[in-house]
Structure 1
Amino acid sequence: MNDAKHKHSSEQPTTRREMSRRQFLSYALGGTTAFMAAGVTIPMIRFAVDPILQPTGAGDFVKVVEESKITNEPKSFKFQIHQVDGWYESDIELEAWIMKDEKGAVYALSPVCKHLGCTVNWNADTRYPNQFFCPCHEAHYTKEGKNLAVAPLPLDEYKIKIESGFVYLGKVQPNQHVTK
């Protein structure tokens, strides 16, 4: 019997750790606050990230003009594209100088001067006949868009495709008709 007493006396009584009211309220209040903060934060994060996840119209082409209206002489054509900047959508008007090269291939140049972004015009100055001219700082370019003075780079050109007798323009890209 002595051994039985020693066995029981050497064992520690099990203690139950109970949560106090203060701990319970702290956990409940903390959990509720976290839940409410997540409810507010998650939609804000989705709102900020959503435009990045939307597909872009990177390869979209816009119908601009009938191919039969294109000549060797550069002509200005205006067209509209639908643009999405984050959450703001708009239709903007762009312009292109469209013409044929010596081989009869159609190409389109951007009218944006590569010097400071002014707009160039064809045959706009009598000192530079048959050239694109920028009135801001007198930059001028050949018919192919090669920079002759002031501007550091040739005029950009639009990606182009001809389909069913119409000229379609895509994104602006560096000029492929001239070498630097």
Structure 2
Amino acid sequence: MEIKPAAMVIPKDTSHLEQGKYGPVFPRTPACYGFTIIAKVKPGRADTMREYGNTLAKALEADPYLLAPLKLHYLRWVLFDDDTRFMYQGIFDTDFDKYTEDAVALFGKSGVNTAFENLEGFPEDWKTNPEAFIRFVREHQCPSFIEYGEYPYVTADEIKKALRVKNALSEMLDQLQ
């Protein structure tokens, strides 16, 4: 089966989309699901945000599967406008509602705080009030209007499985030589 690259335009008007618990359910696109959040950084907290990136990287070294429940493909964090604004981009395999609920549960279970605590307007009670966390994310979400996938609609689990098959095949071929 040939997989062809594909793109999908996402309409600006989301009123016709199915409504989830926390707002419109954006469609699965060739890039799977995802969102971009842009928010103001609390004054003086840019270095704390960067340090949180180091903390997360170290936590992932200790447990590479720490974020596995989120079914992520990619995360990208960006500080910009002279470190006064923060952009969070995530591409994942579940819809928005599930991803954000899973993120709150994961942070609560692991005892890890979120970098979002350094953003203006982020709810202090987010650990016990997931709705407030999700409302913040929705209010700061900047929906994309087109998404492209070189390998459209393929999940992270499918990619990992394909890589395991490739590695096993390579190992088998190496043994034949």
TM-score normalized with structure 2 length: 0.22
TM-score normalized with structure 1 length: 0.22
Which of the two has greater strand per residue? 1
Which of the two has greater helix per residue? 2
